[in-house]
Structure 1
């Protein structure tokens, strides 16, 4: 049990629901995988877009696995930071920690709810001087995800996402996601912090 996870005070005896856990490890894993995804996007752009060997039958499964790994690592980090925020600023959050994972799967709400949760997490760690960064990341993520799908299906009438524009937006989205992870993680102070008791 390290200094982030040690039991502190009487709350530890009463059976706490949340505890402050070091977000640095999950942050490093998430940033590393997202950076690898950005490098893959750059590789596809440089090697010919739709004609790139990266998007052939051999490369697509690897890219799919990389995307899944990025999402899992990001959600692990995001949920840990949300639970930490409950310790740092108890009772100030509109959405429960479970929404840090579930909000991404709720139709329509996934377009705005995770941004709201991210801002709440950042505010719990101190004055949110970098709201602009979170808003910029969220806008670019929407352009890279839901809005990109809508444009391709409704306007371009095709589903080929392997072009320089799509992958370029993916690179920018990855860079901003890494910056957000770094800022939010840095805003969560080192422990030990008291457990937050919900009982």
Structure 2
């Protein structure tokens, strides 16, 4: 019998190393902006606490006005830095993700549940983006393991768990920040933002691990030649 055609169309093996390094570097930039945001969150939390104490003690707010203005400016700058780093990272990450997905089709054309298109759109469709990218990543991981490599996909599950947790906490923090009007509410919102940024650091660090390990696996499997294929 003639071989079955690839279900996702022709696939060409291309090195993911350059894109992997760029993606990991940009994820490192995300961590750097999150560290900046942590500092801004703490400054805002501290200033809001000072305002609350001054109001409770009947003190003057004049000394806190300039600190509050600086805290607001610092928080705004951190937000801009985070968005800029995130946008750049998302673009490069998606290109890398599609590259490793196509490579995985070369290694195992029949080991993928969803079409190649979902490697991109799966991140943006509401509710679908809570489960499908993780499934696609797991299938890429399995297809990319060189023969005899015991590498498990446990790190993929841990990374995805922190991704979902970060996503949920970030939305709660954003909601609290938009509604905060009193000193107490601002302090609570700053504390939630601090927690969300800390989770984002962990999530980005785990993403770096996944990107680096998967990139190395594909590079080793490609260099090993056809004998490393599972199909």
CA 1:193–1:66 in structure 2 vs 1: closer, same or farther (change >3 Å)? same
Q: Which runs of 5+ in 2 are unaligned?
A: 1-8, 45-70, 181-188, 227-231
Larger Rg computed on CA atoms: 2
Relative contact order (C-alpha < 8 Å, sep 6+): which is higher? 1
Matches within 5 A, 1:98-177: 98-126=117-145, 129-145=151-167, 147-149=168-170, 151-152=172-173, 158=179, 163-177=193-207
Q: Does residue 37 of structure 1 match 2:38?
A: no
Of Structure 1 and Structure 2, which has the larger fraction of its residues in helix?
2
User: Residue 215 of structure 2 aligns with which residue?
Assistant: 185
Alignment RMSD (CA, Å):
2.7
TM-score when normalising by structure 1: 0.78
Q: Partners of 2:172 and 2:78 in 1: how far apart?
A: 25
Write out aligned runs for 1:3-152 (5 A). 17-49=10-42, 50=44, 51=71, 53-56=73-76, 58-126=77-145, 129-145=151-167, 147-149=168-170, 151-152=172-173
Q: Return the alpha-carbon distance in structure 1 between the equivalents of residues 211 and 115 of structure 2.
A: 20
Partners of 1:185 and 1:61 lie apart in 2 by: 30
* Equivalent residue number for residue 51 of structure 2: none
